[in-house]
Amino acid sequence: MYKSRKKIILTFLLPSFLGLLVFKVFSMLYSLYISFTDWNLFGDPNFIGIRNYMDIFQDERFYQALKNTLLFITGYLPSVLIVSLGLAMLLNSKVKKVTLFRGLFFLPVISSWVAISMIWKGMLNPEFGIINTIIRFFGGNGPAWLQNPSYVMPAIIMTSVWKDIGFLAIIFLGGLQGISQTYYEAAQIDCAGPWQRFTKITLPLLSPTTFYVLILSIINSFQVFDQIWVMTSGEPTADLVPVMVTEIYRNSFRYQRMGYSTALSWVLFGIIILVTVIQNVLQKKWVHYDD
C-alpha cells in the first residue's frame, strides 16, 4: 500500500534501531569486553583474561554481597507473595467501594524508592518512629533499626514488602479475575469448603500468574539497589550491608575498577539466568496451564 517503503523505514525505524544498537547491544558487548581488562577509566585497557572473574570468587566482599542479596530474597519473597496474594483476594471479593482501596494500595508503588526510603527512615527512627512507638505500646522495646547492623536488613525487607504488595497484588488480581466462576459453582454443589476451594481451585488455576510473579520478583530482588543505598546512607550501617548491585556501583564509581565491576555485573546476570532456568524446569511440576 505504501509506495515509499524505503523512506518510511529510514525515517521511522532508524532512530529506534540505532538507539537499541548503541545503548543495549553495543553496551552489552562493550561491558563484556571491559570485564576482561584492567581498565580504570583513565589510560588504555589492558587485556587480562579472566583475572577479574577469578578475583571476584576470591573476594570476601563478593560472598558477603551474595549472602546479603540471598538474605534479602529469603525474607522478602515469601512475605511479599503471601501478603499480596491475600490482598488480591480481598480486592477480588464483591464488596462495594473495593476499587477505592485498590487505589490506596497503589500509592507506594508509584512513589520513588528515594521518597519511600526517606519516609521510612522517619517511621523506623528509634526515638520518635511510629514502628517503635507501636512496639512500646505493646510493652516491647524496638531496636535502632537502621543504625544496628543486625536489624537493618529486616527493616529494609519490611519496607520493600510494604512498597511492593500493591504492585504484585494487581498482577495477582488479573490472574484471579481470569479464573472462570463455573469452577467455584461446581465446587459449591460438591459442598467444598473455603479452604478446599482455595487449595483445589484457586491455587492451581492461579499458578501461571504465581509463576510469573515469582520470576519477576526474584529478578527484581537480585537487582535490589535503591532502598539499600538510600536507607543506609548517612547511617552507621552505610557500608555494612553490601548487595550485588551496590558492590557493582561501589567498584565502578568509587574505585574506578571498571573491569572488576563489569565482570561482577556479568556474574550477577549469570546467577539470574541460572535461577530463571531452574525455575523454568521446576515449574513443570507445579504450574497448571488450563487448556
Q: Least distance (Å) from another protein to the CB of residue 276? A: 10
All 3 cell numbers of residue 239?
A: 557500608
247 vs 242: CA distance, rounded Å: 6
81 close to 217: Cβ distance less than 8 angstroms: yes
Question: Least distance in Å: CB of 38 to another protein?
Answer: 15
Question: From the CB of 59, what's the least distance to another protein, in Å?
Answer: 17
Q: State which residue, 12 or 198, has the beta carbon closest to another protein.
A: 12
Q: Which of 224, 270, 271, 273 is nearest to 249 (CA)?
A: 224
**Are 35 and 262 within 8 A, CB to CB?**
yes
Between 20 and 54, name the residue whose CB sits nearer to another protein.
Answer: 20
Looking at the Cβ atoms of 43 and 285, the one nearer to another protein is 43
Q: Which is nearer to another protein, 115 or 186 (CB)?
A: 115
Q: Which is nearer to another protein, 156 or 248 (CB)?
A: 248
The distance of closest approach from Cβ of residue 167 to another protein in the complex, given in angstroms and rounded to an integer, is: 5
Q: What distances in angstroms separate CA 252 from CA 1, 18, 231, 247, one per listed residue?
A: 51, 26, 21, 8
Give min distance, CB of 19 to another protein, in A.
3
Q: How far is Cα 50 from Cα 260, in angstroms, rounded to an integer?
A: 10
Smallest gap from Cβ 20 to another protein, in A, equals: 5
- The angle at the Cα of 35, spanning 269 to 223, to the nearest 5 degrees, equals 30
Region for 83 from its dihedrals, namely left if φ exceeds 0, alpha if ψ lies in -120 to 50, beta otherwise: alpha
Q: Among residues 123 and 285, whose Cβ is nearest to another protein? A: 123
The CB-of-183 to another protein minimum distance in angstroms stands at 19
Rg (C-alpha) for the chain, rounded Å, is 24
Q: What is the C-alpha separation between 181 and 160, in angstroms, rounded? A: 33
Q: How far is CA 176 from CA 92, 207, 209, in A?
A: 7, 10, 9
Minimum CB distance to another protein smaller for 90 or for 201: 90
Residue type, 16: S
Q: Which three cell numbers stand for residue 267?
A: 556474574
CB of 135 to another protein, least distance (A): 15
- Cα separation values, 121 from 116, 164, 234, 258, Å: 9, 17, 11, 32
Query: Cβ closer to another protein: 13 or 50?
Result: 13
